[in-house]
Amino acid sequence: ETGVTQTPRHLVMGMTNKKSLKCEQHLGHNAMYWYKQSAKKPLELMFVYNFKEQTENNSVPSRFSPECPNSSHLFLHLHTLQPEDSALYLCASSQEWVDTQYFGPGTRLTVL
Amino acid sequence: QKEVEQNSGPLSVPEGAIASLNCTYSDRGSQSFFWYRQYSGKSPELIMSIYSNGDKEDGRFTAQLNKASQYVSLLIRDSQPSDSATYLCAVTGQAGTALIFGKGTTLSVSS
């Protein structure tokens, strides 16, 4: 498998559930990112990991918890989400953290 | 607050015409500039990157950068219906900050 993959592609969850989004990159990149894309809004950067270390957290609520066990894998743990958290969650990677970013297909999340 | 501004559109052009997409940015120290294309329901895909003033051509696409005016544009020649998508402008700031995306311009090419 090549590029950036994300699972699941679609997720429906209740506000009391706990779920995790997974991202894997097969490009040998050192930086990985989580973005949120809501309708009519620009892409919102959530978290940046560079060489497995979190370098940026854009005031994201604590109900979103990232995890980066190695340079190839990135998780986003979700708990007690709100309906307004429904969005497309995109993972991206780049060789270095200011380089061209390549995106995964995204996870469409619906919070009921 | 560093910003990237794009006209949301929609920009409508007939097939075969030139589509011109524009983007302005607020951080004068920005170093790298990217154009992404995003089809409805899909993730963004990179079309062009540009780093220095002037024009950069790749097939039907030309990116233009003017750092003095803090302006970057994307020209699409011989527009095709398959070019209909949202085009996102993205800019890195100085000192290695992560990409900042504009809201995107929706392009519609009619046959």
Say how many CB pairs under 8 Å bridge A and B.
Answer: 46
Report the distance separating Cα B30 and Cα B86, nearest Å. Answer: 23
Burial class (CB in 10 A: 0-12, 13-18, 19+), B67: middle
**Dihedral sign (CA A20, A41, A91, B10):** positive
Return the percentage of chain A with pLDDT > 90, whole number.
71
Q: Does pLDDT of B40 surpass 80?
A: yes
Report the distance separating Cα A60 and Cα B61, nearest Å. Answer: 36
- Give the pairing type, strands A107-111 and B11-14: unpaired
Return the percentage of chain B with pLDDT > 90, whole number.
77
CB A23 within 8 A of CB A31: no
Residue A107 has a pLDDT of: 97
- Mean pLDDT value across residues B53-81: 97
Mean pLDDT of chain A: 91
Q: Does pLDDT of A1 surpass 60?
A: no
- Mean pLDDT value across residues B58-63: 97
CB nearest A42 (choices: B32, B43, B101): B101
Return the percentage of chain A with pLDDT > 70, whole number.
97
CB A66 within 8 A of CB A79: no
Q: Does pLDDT of B93 surpass 80?
A: no
Residues in CB range of A29: below 8 A, 6 or more apart: A71, A93, A94, A95, A102
Chain B residue closest to A89 (CA)? Answer: B43
Q: Does pLDDT of B8 surpass 90?
A: no
Residue B78 has a pLDDT of: 97
- Mean pLDDT value across residues A92-108: 89
Confidence grade of residue A53 (pLDDT, cut at 50, 70, 90):
confident
Going by C-alpha positions, the residue among A100, A36, A42, A92 that lies closest to residue B4 is A42
Residue B17 C-alpha, separation from nearest chain A C-alpha, in angstroms: 27
Interface contact A98-B101, CB threshold 8 A:
no
CA dihedral A17, A18, A24, A30 (to 10 degrees): 130
- Give the pairing type, strands B11-14 and B105-110: parallel
CB nearest A100 (choices: B4, B34, B102): B34
Q: Does pLDDT of B68 surpass 70?
A: yes
Set of chain B residues whose Cβ sits within 8 Å of the Cβ of A33: 98
- Separation in Å, CA A54 to CA A15, A107, B91, B110: 26, 21, 21, 45
Q: Does pLDDT of B98 surpass 80?
A: no
Q: Does pLDDT of A65 surpass 60?
A: yes
